A and B are shown apart, each in its own frame.
Chain A
């Protein structure tokens, strides 16, 4: 153990290759004999394929093959499954219609972008040209895009097998009757109908996949831009293609962002793998940006009615929610879990609310799939709670900060005080929620702000402040718990530490880095635990052939779960090393201390360096009797609980009364992500998350027309936040260690995105309230100038 790296802002070792353009992404790979796939996609949201004529395309020069859904069906492939099973309230299993790799003749396409045929050619351009020669005859039907409309009687059906388009309904919390009663008996009830709009994840690297089949060994390799190669292998082999897992290698090389959208097993991955077997050549597919807009799984998309009851002193008495969640046309890998177990379980928030009930209906619509997107379910919970809090304070004429402080769960460390048992299944690990809010408010300068606001209220530029305090469940997840909740996999992590004979260390982790900086953070942990230089550690990830197993990166789990697995292996290394050191030093193991990279006999200056121990382990000439040579351990770590980062976000906005334009003036974030290994990386994660959360509040949002066409599916129309849309962020943090993992870490990947959105929308409303528009309860996100203007002029 040493203290050289942990807690220090060590520069990211991976950045050199990324910043200099030397990263190696899937699309950068060119395999010998590689072919290129162009996928023909439905231009309609809901239509029957009457016929497909590929004859002309087949004869075009440079075309290698054209496949349709009929070819796939003939080889007995059913389609891609969901990775999580949720049951109806009545216990019935959710509806899980197959998601075919290609929709065949006589079947119906179910969203714009649904795959119909694939053209494989010697070049991308030839494939795209030949695709224009494929003739497809469609019979077009009405479509439905909104989840609340989809469940109404008579709405166009997405799947015959799912009446009223209901994939499943679900509930969580206290018995509904108790909650109804508590609401009825409340002194004040704040009620809000709102939409958490649909988001397009937009990683900078579009998805890409290369299937490689090698007849000589009957083996497959899939290179794919994924967040979790092992899960892709598991799903694709066992559930889609029926290939034994030991015959398949999946590699997720450098990946340019995911934000959740690259967790899932996509049809294209199975398609290129299958195609490569048919033609016995590698097949590459890379999504175009417009294609990404209509085929990547989107996020959020809830239509909600929420009510929060209060007693006469402002204590929350109950929370009652009815939500319709859009799952899109097919169930993506984690889709069933997002609006349920990752959402409903967070509705306690930071408050002591005694009665909570969520009634959730998950609907199919004629849109591409909706699944986890940075925060996954937890931003939706936070948005709901925090909007209600600020609105309730406004309605009751109390201060929003006071209202929160009054209702917060009291501080607890999870060691001397027990964890906090919520009404919605979870037990929080540790926290001091008052502290983050107090700090945030101090940074804001609350009193001065209210004075400035009162002055601005007389002008054309209104000022507003919005608060948000959030909690999330990260470090996903204890396998037994998620298994009981329907996960079709365990959610432990694997960490292997291989000490090379020279004392250099190779680490293999099942977590996958696609922007998070694991190659640095994990190396900091290893270097300090072993007391060796950072340069002596290399982190490997993303390849099922080198990494024993893993569940990938999402849900802010990598360090809390993956890092903990590595720590377990490090402990085994240090323990075995001690036996070797004791032998070399002719001392008793119990008399040794391991520190600063050497084993020392207590009370003496006799020591042996870690590197010598490593060499001895591999050259065991003079070696402890009965001890195996080598210094290489692998561990599986299954967490005892989720981790619970939390924090306070505060936004200050200016609203142009004439145009409705909102300018974000300040953004304060005080987060508690547990112990911090690399403060620079944590700040970076918070910054990125804030940009995304603020983007949702002010700028982003997919818009489908009634025919299921995405009308803003390009960067000319879909507004991603840019640096000049954002102020300098004002960050602070508290560090409350997680009591149940060896590093005391909680996770930082999603926090920024979870807390920020309601803070901004609350600020916009606060500005309006200050300017005499007290009647405005809600403005749809994104709060575009026109929507804000309309709110003031309605």
Chain B
């Protein structure tokens, strides 16, 4: 770990390498040309999944597959396993890591929405030591986060919700890449408190407060979902234009809320 941080800080253009499923294509297309790659996937402290004092702790270098098949994840926050198993295809899940995914912050990636709905925190080690940041504050825009060049994500920490909490992840896939055109993560606690986050809809994953407050205060799934994706800028591409995507967000919010009600 120390060596990794040192290389990242020593001045030459170095980049962290996770599973390589986003970075390596960029290198091949000559969109990026670092002089050094620092492969963090074999750093022991970045591996492993465990439950510590009511918190699910996932090492940043765990692959999507490892998370999808972890008993600890299934037993505590099964929607994360469901979300992980809906990422890409087998090859991607076997190589891609949770840390790499959130560092990359692709607007259509699944982890950011999943972690927002899970109210997760992200542990980052950098030049000035270690800090823990709420997922809410981590994503800042289109492919951008608060990470500095020499930061390494080490852990994701997720509070285990109270008994009786229901959660789900509903995903409408882009058929070629299998990224999310719309991904909706929803968590409803027994108190009724609801968290709803979207992937694929806007420049970056976001929690939809209008839907959350409607649902938390007892609105029907239909009613709460009708408020989805209002007042945010909505992406458009040849698979889904703006109005269609917005429509899908509402459909998927309803489906997700029905699941957790």
Inside 8 A of B238's CB, which chain A residues have their CB? 703, 711-712, 717
Contact A658 B177, CB 8 Å, known A711-B238, A786-B241, A789-B244: no
Q: Which of A105-113, A146-154, A184-192, A718-726 contacts B (4 or more CB under 8 A)?
A: A718-726
* Shortest distance from the beta carbon of A791 to any chain B beta carbon, whole Å: 12
- In the assembled complex, A362 has its CB within 8 A of some CB on chain B: no
Contact A719 B175, CB 8 Å, known A703-B238, A712-B238, A786-B240: yes
Interface 1/0 per residue, B1-43 and A, CB below 8 Å:
0000000000000000000000000000110000000000000
Interface 1/0 per residue, A704-724 and B, CB below 8 Å:
000000011001111110000
Not counting A128-B30, A658-B251, a sample of 9 additional A-B residue pairs whose C-beta atoms are within 8 angstroms of each other reads A699-B175, A712-B238, A715-B176, A717-B238, A720-B176, A784-B239, A786-B241, A789-B244, A790-B244
- In the assembled complex, A459 has its CB within 8 A of some CB on chain B: no
Interface core residue of A717, A719, A720, A786 (most chain B CB under 10 Å): A786
Closest to B251 in A: A658
CA distance A785 to B240 in the complex (A): 9
Inside 8 A of A718's CB, which chain B residues have their CB? 176
Closest to B245 in A: A786
Inside 8 A of B175's CB, which chain A residues have their CB? 699, 719, 725
A-B contact pairs, 17 of them (CB 8 A): A128-B30, A659-B251, A661-B172, A699-B175, A712-B238, A715-B177, A716-B176, A717-B177, A718-B176, A719-B175, A719-B176, A725-B175, A785-B172, A786-B241, A789-B244, A789-B247, A790-B244
* Shortest distance from the beta carbon of B247 to any chain A beta carbon, whole Å: 7
Closest to A718 in B: B176
Interface 1/0 per residue, B220-261 and A, CB below 8 Å:
000000000000000000111100100110010000000000
* Shortest distance from the beta carbon of B255 to any chain A beta carbon, whole Å: 9
- In the assembled complex, A290 has its CB within 8 A of some CB on chain B: yes
* Shortest distance from the beta carbon of A126 to any chain B beta carbon, whole Å: 14
Q: Is the CB of A786 within 8 A of B176?
A: no
CA distance A718 to B241 in the complex (A): 17
Interface core residue of B29, B239, B244 (most chain A CB under 10 Å): B244
B residues touching A (Cβ–Cβ < 8 Å)?
A: 29-30, 172, 175-177, 179, 238-241, 244, 247-248, 251
Within 8 A of B (CB), among A707-762: 711-712, 715-720, 725
The listed residue (A290, A659, A699, A712) touching B248 by CB distance below 8 A is A659
Contact A716 B177, CB 8 Å, known A786-B240, A786-B241: yes
Inside 8 A of B247's CB, which chain A residues have their CB? 789
Inside 8 A of A703's CB, which chain B residues have their CB? 238
CA distance A790 to B245 in the complex (A): 12
Closest to A656 in B: B251
Inside 8 A of B29's CB, which chain A residues have their CB? 290
Closest to A784 in B: B239
Interface core residue of A128, A658, A725 (most chain B CB under 10 Å): A658
Inside 8 A of A786's CB, which chain B residues have their CB? 239-241, 244
* Shortest distance from the beta carbon of B31 to any chain A beta carbon, whole Å: 12
CA distance A429 to B179 in the complex (A): 49
* Shortest distance from the beta carbon of A788 to any chain B beta carbon, whole Å: 11
Interface residues on A, range: 20 to 34
* Shortest distance from the beta carbon of B144 to any chain A beta carbon, whole Å: 20
* Shortest distance from the beta carbon of B25 to any chain A beta carbon, whole Å: 8
Inside 8 A of B172's CB, which chain A residues have their CB? 659, 661, 785
Interface 1/0 per residue, A659-686 and B, CB below 8 Å:
1010000000000000000000000000
* Shortest distance from the beta carbon of B132 to any chain A beta carbon, whole Å: 33
CA distance A184 to B134 in the complex (A): 72
Closest to A724 in B: B89
Inside 8 A of B179's CB, which chain A residues have their CB? 716
Overall SS of chain A's interface: loop
| Closest 9 pairs (CB-CB, A-B) | A719-B176, A716-B177, A719-B175, A786-B244, A658-B251, A717-B176, A703-B238, A786-B240, A699-B175
Closest to B247 in A: A789
CA distance A784 to B248 in the complex (A): 14
Inside 8 A of A661's CB, which chain B residues have their CB? 172
CA distance A659 to B179 in the complex (A): 17
Inside 8 A of A711's CB, which chain B residues have their CB? 238
Interface core residue of B29, B179, B248, B251 (most chain A CB under 10 Å): B248
CA distance A719 to B172 in the complex (A): 15
* Shortest distance from the beta carbon of A132 to any chain B beta carbon, whole Å: 8
* Shortest distance from the beta carbon of B85 to any chain A beta carbon, whole Å: 13
Closest to B172 in A: A659
Inside 8 A of A784's CB, which chain B residues have their CB? 239
* Shortest distance from the beta carbon of A684 to any chain B beta carbon, whole Å: 23
* Shortest distance from the beta carbon of A699 to any chain B beta carbon, whole Å: 6
CA distance A717 to B179 in the complex (A): 10
Closest to A790 in B: B244
Closest to A658 in B: B251
Interface 1/0 per residue, A764-794 and B, CB below 8 Å:
0000000000000000000011100110000
Inside 8 A of B239's CB, which chain A residues have their CB? 784, 786
CA distance A790 to B172 in the complex (A): 17
* Shortest distance from the beta carbon of B79 to any chain A beta carbon, whole Å: 21
Closest to B28 in A: A288
* Shortest distance from the beta carbon of B185 to any chain A beta carbon, whole Å: 18
Interface core residue of A718, A725, A784 (most chain B CB under 10 Å): A784
* Shortest distance from the beta carbon of A300 to any chain B beta carbon, whole Å: 18
Inside 8 A of B251's CB, which chain A residues have their CB? 658-659
CA distance A517 to B240 in the complex (A): 41
CA distance A785 to B177 in the complex (A): 16
* Shortest distance from the beta carbon of A621 to any chain B beta carbon, whole Å: 64
* Shortest distance from the beta carbon of A291 to any chain B beta carbon, whole Å: 11
CA distance A718 to B175 in the complex (A): 9
CA distance A70 to B179 in the complex (A): 45
Interface 1/0 per residue, A348-377 and B, CB below 8 Å:
000000000000000000000000000000
Inside 8 A of A128's CB, which chain B residues have their CB? 30
Inside 8 A of A717's CB, which chain B residues have their CB? 176-177, 238
Closest to A661 in B: B172
Inside 8 A of A659's CB, which chain B residues have their CB? 172, 248, 251
Closest to B254 in A: A658
Closest to B248 in A: A659
CA distance A725 to B239 in the complex (A): 17
CA distance A366 to B250 in the complex (A): 40
CA distance A639 to B239 in the complex (A): 46
CA distance A719 to B248 in the complex (A): 20
Inside 8 A of B176's CB, which chain A residues have their CB? 699, 712, 715-720
* Shortest distance from the beta carbon of B135 to any chain A beta carbon, whole Å: 25
* Shortest distance from the beta carbon of A533 to any chain B beta carbon, whole Å: 41
Closest to B29 in A: A290
* Shortest distance from the beta carbon of B28 to any chain A beta carbon, whole Å: 8
CA distance A712 to B241 in the complex (A): 15
* Shortest distance from the beta carbon of B250 to any chain A beta carbon, whole Å: 9
Inside 8 A of B240's CB, which chain A residues have their CB? 785-786
Inside 8 A of B30's CB, which chain A residues have their CB? 128
CA distance A699 to B175 in the complex (A): 8
Inside 8 A of A712's CB, which chain B residues have their CB? 176, 238
CA distance A717 to B177 in the complex (A): 7
CA distance A786 to B177 in the complex (A): 17
CA distance A128 to B27 in the complex (A): 13
Closest to B175 in A: A719
Within 8 A of B (CB), among A303-338: none
* Shortest distance from the beta carbon of B75 to any chain A beta carbon, whole Å: 28
Inside 8 A of B241's CB, which chain A residues have their CB? 786
CA distance A208 to B238 in the complex (A): 31
CA distance A784 to B238 in the complex (A): 10
* Shortest distance from the beta carbon of B127 to any chain A beta carbon, whole Å: 32
Inside 8 A of B248's CB, which chain A residues have their CB? 659
Interface core residue of B176, B239, B241, B247 (most chain A CB under 10 Å): B176
* Shortest distance from the beta carbon of B221 to any chain A beta carbon, whole Å: 14
CA distance A658 to B251 in the complex (A): 7
Inside 8 A of A290's CB, which chain B residues have their CB? 29
CA distance A258 to B244 in the complex (A): 36
Closest to A786 in B: B244
Closest to B244 in A: A786
